[in-house]
Amino acid sequence: MPRSPRCIAVLLFVAASITFLQAQQLGFTIWKGENLVGAITAIRKHPGANVTYAVSSYSELDFVLKQQVRSTMALEYRAGKPYSGFTSLHLNGSLRDSSSMRTVAGSMDCYVYPKEQFTFNGANAWSTARMYFEEPVGQTSVFVESVMRNCPLIRTEDGVYELNMPGKKTNIYRYKNGVLQAVEVDRVLIKLLFKRA
């Protein structure tokens, strides 16, 4: 993934700009079992007809040694569709995973770490970033920013949705009266719970 100074500056500007006026901010805590291990901030900004989302998290997780995990995601919509964005995951300060996309001539040029590059034309108007702010009523798939693909979404009961991603990764989203209350994250080596703060 190219990381020129100009590219980095643009990404930092996108992430920073969403903290300006007209932004809605949500907070979630991260739990591993009964232990509070981190926090999440989700922001949505409405600049005119566009919508911009950003989600950042920090957590400290114990495997063999304590690991500091930071993640960042930004997604810009234009005309109701994903237009550009990126994700990054840092472990103990080192970049471990990333993805990015931008729209060129109506198609999305996508990159997923370590070296997957492809063009994608069918991004769902719903994304995991949007799901922090709205319940995905009637949706059967959502755009997942970390893999730059649409992934299946199953409504298992009222207000409960299961999102299935590549690598047998599953998130369960729980809503009450249309408001996200919790996300259950199930991975091979770890299970986490995000709770609305």
Give the model confidence (pLDDT) of 99-133 as tens digits. Answer: 999 999 989 999 999 989 999 988 899 999 999 99
Rounded to an integer, what distance in angstroms lies between the CA atom of residue 57 and that of residue 46?
22
Q: What is the pTM of this model?
A: 0.86
How many domains does one find in the chain? 1
Give, rounded to a whole angstrom, the gap between the first and last alpha carbons of the chain. 35
Element holding 103 (H helix, E strand): strand 94-104
Cβ-contact 195, 183 below 8 angstroms:
no
The residue range of the domain holding 136 is 5-196
- Asked if residue 172 lies in contact with residue 183, where contact means CB atoms within 8 angstroms, the answer is yes
pLDDT tens for residues 74-106? 999 998 889 999 999 999 999 999 999 999 998
- Paired tokens of 114: 């370590």
